[in-house]
Structure 1
Amino acid sequence: MSVDDEQIGKNFTRLRGDLSQKEVAELMRARGFRWSQATVWSIEKGERPLRLSEAQAVVEVLGQPFFDLTADDGEAVVDAWMRECSNASKALEAAVDRFEQARMQLALTYRHVEGKLRRKHEDGGGWLRTTVEDVVREHRERDRGDESLMGQFVDANDPWLIAYNETIEKEYPSGERPAAS
């Protein structure tokens, strides 16, 4: 596969994310390169080639793998969705930690005020008995749609969709969502 300056420029634009062209130029100047905002603009438009030493510094400054700078459009899209999955997974882990911490704090608080609560606060509003799995199951029930269509796509022979469908089947081995508790 041959990657031209225009493709590298498109990837550069995508990889810099929320950083402005001026900010990238400043970061590169701090590494000893004589860059301006116009340099970044020229590279992004494919009008100026990116030298190898510059490319190495750029990926370090942007915190991105070198491969992403030279990826073709298909690879770039797949890589972007892989990063999104990774970021979503980290956010989900953080949310689980916050949920468990909140439940623990609720339990600790509840034991000190138990006899002084109104009816709506009995049992911590149900949260003390709610697990992460309960929350996920409720989400699936609410947002998944018709279970007969769950995880089913038009091309049942596509290996990537098969892998995705297998994860759905692990969650719902009978093909139906569990009854709400």
Structure 2
Amino acid sequence: MITSDDAIIGERVKKLRGETSQAEVASEMRSRGHAWKKQTVYNIESGQRQLKLIEARDLLACLGYDPAKYLVSLTMPENEKYAWEAKTDFENCYDALRIAMHNYGGALRELEIAIKPKPNQPQYEPSEATKTEIKRMLEIFNVDYVASWATGWIESGKRGEGLNGTPYRDLVDRREVKAAISEEKSHPHTPKDWVEKYSPTTEKK
């Protein structure tokens, strides 16, 4: 029996689907053993067909969401949903930050190793120009400087500002966040460019 809850679930499925086409979703679900067609996705999103539990789990996985975290979001009361999304966003960001900081520490270590003398492995010895550039990077991008920079990012986020000037709450779909991050990373900055752009001693002309 179709109920008003099915319509709510359908709207939430459509929101999670984002830019992925209904045909693509149906194809992914078929690969997981479900006899879905494009019409199936449409019927669910329009509240004309119920979404089964096993289907919901696989659907979330198809869309790139962790079913263990996001399954509850499909059926929870509307008054709880915003708070749940805020909590989940915070948890995801915390995990990403922890991993990023760990990787940053590892990257610093690799830079330090790169400029150490290698008398027994001359084929891995960088040029003096490269060593000078890396040393300058290490001087600028030290832990204290990055920590103060991170504080500024956190404060801008708390003010509602986001990547590329997009208000944070407008980045609802996680794929939009990933796309924005990819765009940030796509700029062809070399280490020299980073030093010139982000050095606190660089004068803007």
Common topology (TM > 0.5): yes
TM range (shorter): 0.5 to 0.7
Please show how residues 35-74 of structure 1 align to structure 2 within 5 Å.
35-46=36-47, 48-51=48-51, 54-63=52-61, 64=67, 65-74=70-79
Shift of 1:30: 3.8
1:127 aligned onto 2:138: yes
The equivalent residue for 1:6 is 7
Please show how residues 73-152 of structure 1 align to structure 2 within 5 Å.
73-112=78-117, 117=128, 121=132, 124-125=135-136, 127=138, 132=143, 134-141=145-152, 144=155
Tell me how large the CA RMSD over aligned residues is.
3.7
Please show how residues 15-30 of structure 1 align to structure 2 within 5 Å.
15-30=16-31
Question: May I ask how many residue pairs the two structures share in their alignment?
Answer: 142
CA deviations on 1:46-104 (whole Å, 9 max, x unpaired) are 2x1315xx232222331324322112334333333333223322322232122212211
Shift of 1:128: 5.8
Quote the Cα distance in structure 1 between the aligned partners of 2:72 and 2:5: 14
Quote the Cα distance in structure 1 between the aligned partners of 2:13 and 2:154: 36
Aligned with 2:49: secondary structure? coil
TM-score normalized by structure 2? 0.53
Quote the Cα distance in structure 2 between the aligned partners of 1:123 and 1:66: 46
Quote the Cα distance in structure 1 between the aligned partners of 2:29 and 2:16: 15
Q: Residue type matched to 1:56 in 2?
A: I
Identity of aligned residues (%): 26
* Gap runs ≥5 in structure 1: 146-150, 152-181
The question of whether the paired residues in 2 share the 8 Å contact of 1:103 and 1:128 is answered with no
Q: Residue type matched to 1:49 in 2?
A: R
Quote the Cα distance in structure 2 between the aligned partners of 1:131 and 1:141: 16
CA deviations on 1:103-150 (whole Å, 9 max, x unpaired) are 11121122228xx857x93892262696545422333257638xxxxx
* Gap runs ≥5 in structure 2: 62-66, 119-126, 159-205
Change (3 A) 1:142 1:57: closer
The question of whether the paired residues in 2 share the 8 Å contact of 1:25 and 1:39 is answered with yes
Q: Residue type matched to 1:77 in 2?
A: Y
Quote the Cα distance in structure 1 between the aligned partners of 2:34 and 2:60: 15
Give the number of the structure whose alpha-carbon radius of gyration is greater. 1
The question of whether the paired residues in 2 share the 8 Å contact of 1:59 and 1:69 is answered with no
